[in-house]
Structure 1
């Protein structure tokens, strides 16, 4: 043995001699066929011999060819051919087996605990909500049998929960549960005289509750084909899941709901001034005079209100919500002419603002649906921006999203008709003649809204503004209109009034 370090020199005299070490115990019995260890008599001082070990240990268990097999292998008794495992290999096998067993047990326990935990929590939450509803209506909670509905639309899949227990308890306290008889009485048995609108999944009726509140009641269609029934259930669940957790002055408020057999009804705040679509395209339903039609300031105010409601869905709802069906018929006006976004039956509780959502099927309304979403099934918040852009063009021109030009057989989309003309500087020939000729500042405001609308309906979503940018432009346009009260003439814009 050679030692080195401080105080040691490298001379040959530094080598320390070691005595011989006995390689095994001294025994007096005769050794087996492996023989005795050389010089064992001297090592045992004549009191016995040291037997040679028949097992050769290797530091790493490697497969050996027959020619490389150690000589002692053939001397090891075994019930099968081949080299036996050494102690190091056996240790690896034991440790690996224990690790696999522990890992499998951990995974099984986590799965069992997760499923049972969610199931227990769901049962507890459902029982608590049923108890609250029962106490409010003096009904025995054991008599409640809420049916399960799947709420579609989350970016990670779907939200499964009971209808009564679908929303957080803080919001459930504000969402009433109505009986079918209450809503039948409120609408005079859903009489045609009370019908104020319709959609793909049902009709909307005006109603008056027993406490005097005026409401709008959306009733899902009955006796539908199985596919339509599933779509109705999905729309009902989606709208209930979204509106029960939102509260904003530019979104239609949900009062409550009713679920009875195959009946699905949603109860909303009543919007006494109807929809923007009726004001622009259905004057028979609204009447000869409309505050929205006569004033550019009022039109821009409606657009600004709707944009603020959509921005709330995109940027302030947690998680964000994509409406997917922004159009003029889904923008309603309350008694104060405040615009509110409605109809969340196609909405998705989706990804963050800058993320994409790949849907299995593009849905929306012809003339308003985002072309990139329609073709590629890739949905983002910019799809709602596109729909709002079409609504802005409707407000400016008074034309429908898809319309016919005189002497033309095929209809044309509003975007394809207006976009190129706005960029060519022909805005004055496109404006709705039912509005008063714009003053100087109003003309600047209208031009700003037109260019914002054209940006919103860009075919490529990356070229469209987000809702915050749209609101900034509309706020500037509205401020220009407010500053124009003292201006009565405008030499730049002159219009021929329709007689």
Structure 2
């Protein structure tokens, strides 16, 4: 504890350690609530790094960058902050709307002094110096001092004020509204305090619960109870809650039921609770998952969040002294990086708590026990249902066998959806999107990912799988050669768009008016090339038939007639990214701004991420380049040309290929040199594309007439690494403004990481996507879409 062990305070210390940890609107914890957007964030348990995951009602959980290990978080009105493990830096994120994309992390503090008890208010941030326990402030409205020397404990923040308990156990407050709160607690010896929007509750040295401040909705009407009966306090805008001991259930007051105390969730034990606005969330003792509830004057509604297991307490170094013992299994929960001290006063019985209810039960509600006859009826009903299901399953099996025997010879390429392959640890924790849970740091190379060995699938019919985030198409259309010849005026040169991995691409117009792109295999092939082109056709047909995503080229159908092999796609009105960047006759058009260029890169990265992370088996494109990134009529980018793509089952080891394939300038050096193919090979190619977009240079170009060929990697990467990005930016685009420059730098540094010589040093595509999302958010904020209420934060290095 932070109170010195003098004679005057020794007895007080003994009572203080009996109080459980408390969390609230602006106090350090492992969970935090952002008032304005209803965002709930927590630190992952049993994970390394112990990164932060956030969720909102009705949305999948999502990670925030950087994915470092954090020891605590604290939430305010429009943003929240996380203190990095060790306390030598902390980051903050704006969360002012309901989208799942936060503005990028801003490092507010990095220094040699370790911090603890990070506390966030409306627009102020404060923390203790871990060594001296003096208070330090950042931001605020000018009414907060920079530092307050002395020794304090239980730091907390509300709207326009922050409070702490001095070494005399008396509450001291700062900020424009702090004097009123301090006066209300005058001469009351406190062991701990927690702030809400405009009121403060705490436990006295004697162990009794009291509240002071605004009482507009009865939030000060704390229930009476014995000494140390309440702990785990959480305060919102108009309500207050506390965990009742020894059963660990929650009791709330204010803002509902006329201000009288009420139980928002009956029969559930909680380890800790936090609040913000009208939202309160608790960490369930049984499984460390999060349950939230929202109250207004008349109703209580339970909110389901997709957060996995969250740390039940702050991890501290193993050599720390835990006054009331160590939390069970805390070393595993902290992933071997520390322990969790057991809150003093928490129940210690080993009885299994009842399962959490599916919805909030009204106070004092009871249900009559079922009668024996009703139990018998339920058994007969269950038997009837099971029998019916079994009969239906058997009938379906018979019909499937009939279909397989008599109709499988028909040549049909079914559309196939990928099944999401979930990380084992994530699956054990909660059904959350794996990309939202296990994401390597964007600033270091991920390791330990499983690899696969490839086998070609050809044109065989694939199993139909209907899971994944993309749309579903019933089946590919089969066209006659005459139909496609008519659509292109017999493949006239005036309809020619370009060439792909196995043929020429033409623009066509079908009989029903649809505009399409038609890829036709070359007819004058040498004998030794025929097999290779057939393989490319079958490969692309197999992939396009089973993959559907808004950032992959739309597949319409195919023609396999005699010697003709044709594929039909949706027509991409704005052509290839390559042409907009490098064609002498082309004008930049919409690509004349950094914002739209970053948006195009983000679109394409999402398509590649889908191939790597959601396709089953995973897919490596092998030919990522700017000419294979097409733009539709709305300037949405889509990845195209799957003639060289490979897929295979998941095994330990690398993806291996007998022969390197791709386009020079974009090919992974590790792949064409060592024939080791992994998803990081696509990452390298996309890194080259990112450098193309930034510089306006081709993948391989000549500097001036007669110059030696130079790769865009060798041209741009050294200048970017040296901090001289301006020297290599495309001069056809106006120099970026201050906020745009931050976004462009993030893209540039990400690109440099992508083109590392060794695949192990490159980020995963999921990391690239998140960095580009962050960069685009910065651009949007620079154009005036950021919240005026969000705090001004220094840039992340």
| TM-score normalized with structure 1 length | 0.65
Q: Structure 1: which 5+ residue stretches go unaligned?
A: 1-119, 133-153, 488-499
Contact 1:322 1:350 in 2 (8 A): no
In 2 relative to 1, CA 321–247 (structure 1 residues): closer, same or farther, beyond 3 Å? same
Do residues 252 (structure 1) and 252 (structure 2) align?
no
Q: 2:487, 2:509 within 8 Å by CA — same for their partners in 1?
A: yes
User: What SS does the aligned partner of 1:219 have?
Assistant: strand
**What CA deviation, in whole Å up to 9, does each residue of 1:273-299 have, x standing for no partner?**
000000000142xx435101x110000
Match of 1:430 in 2: 728
1:419 to 717, 722, 727: 717
3-state SS, counterpart of residue 598 of structure 2: helix
**Pairwise CA distance, 1:122:** 7.4
Contact 1:258-1:266 within 8 A present in 2 as well: yes
2:779 aligns to what SS in structure 1? Answer: helix
2:587 is matched with which residue: 249, 263, 288? 288
* Residue 130 to residue 203, structure 1, CA distance change in 2 (3 Å): closer
1:484 shift after superposition: 1.1
Contact 1:351 1:357 in 2 (8 A): no
Q: Give distance in 2, aligned partners of 1:398 and 1:303.
A: 14
What's 1:186 paired with? 487
Q: Distance in 1 between matches of 2:535 and 2:758?
A: 30
1:330-341 aligned at under 5 Å gives the runs 330-341=628-639
Question: Which has a greater percent of helix?
Answer: 1
Residue 320 of structure 1 and its aligned partner are, at CA, apart by 0.6
- Please say if residues 353 and 380 of structure 1, whose CA atoms lie closer than 8 Å, have aligned partners that are also in contact: no
Q: How does 1:91-130 map to 2 (within 5 A)?
A: 124=406, 126-127=408-409
CA gap of 1:266–1:406, structure 2 versus 1, over 3 A, is same
Distance change (3 Å), C-alpha of 1:308 and 1:130? closer
1:235-246 map, 5 Å: 235-246=536-547
Counterpart position of 1:451: 749
Which position in structure 1 is the counterpart of 2:627?
329
Partner of 1:348: 646
1:81-480 to structure 2, matched below 5 A, reads 124=406, 126-127=408-409, 155=453, 157-159=455-457, 161=459, 165=461, 168=464, 173-284=474-585, 287-292=586-591, 294-352=592-650, 355-406=653-704, 409-480=707-778
Measure the CA separation in 2 of the matches of 1:351 and 1:389: 26
Query: How far did residue 168 of structure 1 move?
Result: 4.8
Report the RMSD for the aligned CA atoms in angstroms. 2.6
Give the Å deviation of 1:409: 3.1
Q: Distance in 1 between matches of 2:677 and 2:454?
A: 14
Partners of 1:432 and 1:486 in 2: CA distance? 24
After TM superposition, where is structure 1 displaced by more than 6 Å over at least 4 residues in a row?
120-123, 169-172
Distance in 2, Cα, partners of 1:243 & 1:337? 21
Q: Is the 8 A contact 2:455 2:647 kept in 1?
A: no
Shift of 1:127: 2.9
* Residue 231 (structure 1) shift: 1.4
Query: SS of the residue aligned with 1:393?
Result: helix
Q: Measure the CA separation in 1 of the matches of 2:765 and 2:560.
A: 35
SS at match of 2:768: helix
- Deviation at residue 406 of structure 1 after TM alignment: 2.2
- Which of 319-328 and 121-130 deviates more? 121-130
Shift in Å at residue 261 of structure 1?
A: 1.3
Indicate how the Cα distance of structure 1 residues 476 and 376 shifts in structure 2: closer, same or farther if over 3 A, else same. same
Alpha carbons 2:618, 2:648 under 8 Å: kept = yes
Cα contact 1:326–1:388 (8 A) shared by 2: yes
Residues 281 and 400 in structure 1, CA contact (< 8 A), matched pair in contact too: yes
Residue 81 of structure 1 is matched in structure 2 by none
Distance in 1 between the 2:459 and 2:404 partners?
8
SS of residue matched to 1:206: strand
Which region of structure 1 is more displaced relative to structure 2, 345-354 or 423-432? 345-354
2-structure distance, mates of 1:131, 1:265:
14
Offset at residue 199 of structure 1 (A): 3.1
Distance in 2 separating the partners of 1:121 and 1:296: 54
How far the C-alpha of 1:352 sits from its partner, in A, is 4.2
Mean CA deviation greater in 165-174 or 307-316 = 165-174
Query: What displacement does 1:349 show?
Result: 1.0
Residue 156 of structure 1: CA displacement? 5.2
Question: Given that residues 353 and 381 in structure 1 are in contact (C-alpha distance below 8 angstroms), is that contact kept between their aligned partners in structure 2?
Answer: no
Aligned-partner Cα distance in 2 for 1:186–1:166: 30
What SS does the aligned partner of 2:573 have?
A: coil
Unaligned runs of 5+ in 2: 1-401, 415-451, 467-471, 786-797
Q: Secondary structure at the match of 1:485?
A: helix
- Whether the 8 Å contact between 2:501 and 2:641 is mirrored in structure 1 is no
> Secondary structure at 1:181's aligned position in 2?
helix
User: Aligned partners of 1:216 and 1:225: how far apart in 2?
Assistant: 25
2:704 & 2:653 partners in 1: Cα distance?
43
3-state SS of paired residue (2:565): strand
Q: Does the Cα contact within 8 Å between 2:458 and 2:542 map onto a contact in 1?
A: no
